[in-house]
Amino acid sequence: MCLNFSFRLSPFSMTFLLSRSFISLTLVRPSCSISMANPTMNAKARLRGVVFDMDGTLTVPVIDFGAMYRAVLGEDAYKRIKAESPTGIDILHHIESWSPDKQQKAYEIIADYEKQGIDKLQIMPGAAELCGFLDSKKIKRGLITRNVQKAIDIFHQRYEVIFSPALGREFRPYKPNPDPLLHICSTWDIQPNEVMMVGDSLKDDIACGKRAGAFTCLLDETGRYGPDDFSVSGLQPDFKVDSLSKIQNLLETNFDLNP
């Protein structure tokens, strides 16, 4: 037997519910659920733009970041920094404090790994279809990556799926700083709370989105992230999917997509 309960909500509670997807609690019996939202309230948050990460989100991950970090940092420094950074190594942040000569050598190593990635570049399954859906709803789409602008240009040319604005690491400061996302929102003349950031990195993509005040969706194909990671980092994505193909249903279910 299913029991339905309705609650009278204060204006503050109503505002909160309107700003995020409704909360549902599932009972032990799989056939019965209790919704804490007022069943007469159908309003959804408006979504007018989606901003994507590139490597590992719009493209299949092919760069061996562990090997790249070892080559840049050295084995001992890599192990130490990795132990001190449970959410991942921010290699660009570490390089910024080095001498110009050491920085140059590090960037050359990174560029070599990135070139290998460009040579093997593949669009992520579901990416083209998702972009087609966004276009059909007149939802804007942008791109933020810590890769170079050249990689973005090659991606655009190879797959003819264009994102605008599309910012590489030449735009400073880069993710996880919120400035790239705020810049895109400003260019679109859209408020951050009407935009979603989608990416596969908790420390870069989700942090960027959270700090900008946008909705966030973590793409986690392999189940890499769990509750402990969210707790340690203090970063809880609004949504988590294991495939780009699941984002269309997520958007249709949770957001007002009208232009």
Tell me which residue of 199, 190, 193, 196 sits closest to 241, measured CA to CA: 199
* DSSP code of residue 59: B
Q: From the candidates 53, 200, 205, 229, give the one annotated as an active-site residue.
A: 53
Q: Are strands 33-35 and 24-26 parallel, antiparallel or unpaired?
A: antiparallel
CB 91 within 8 A of CB 188: no
* DSSP code of residue 123: B
Q: From the candidates 55, 204, 229, 238, give the one annotated as an active-site residue.
A: 55
Active site residue 189: no
Tell me which residue of 150, 63, 134 sits closest to 142, measured CA to CA: 134
The whole-angstrom separation of Cα 172 and Cα 175 is 9
Give me the phi and psi of 159, to 5 degrees please: -115, -5
Active site residue 53: yes
DSSP reduced 3-state for 167: strand
CB 51 within 8 A of CB 196: yes
Residue with tokens 């990174």: 110
Q: Which amino acid is at 231?
A: S
Q: Which residues are catalytic?
A: 53, 55
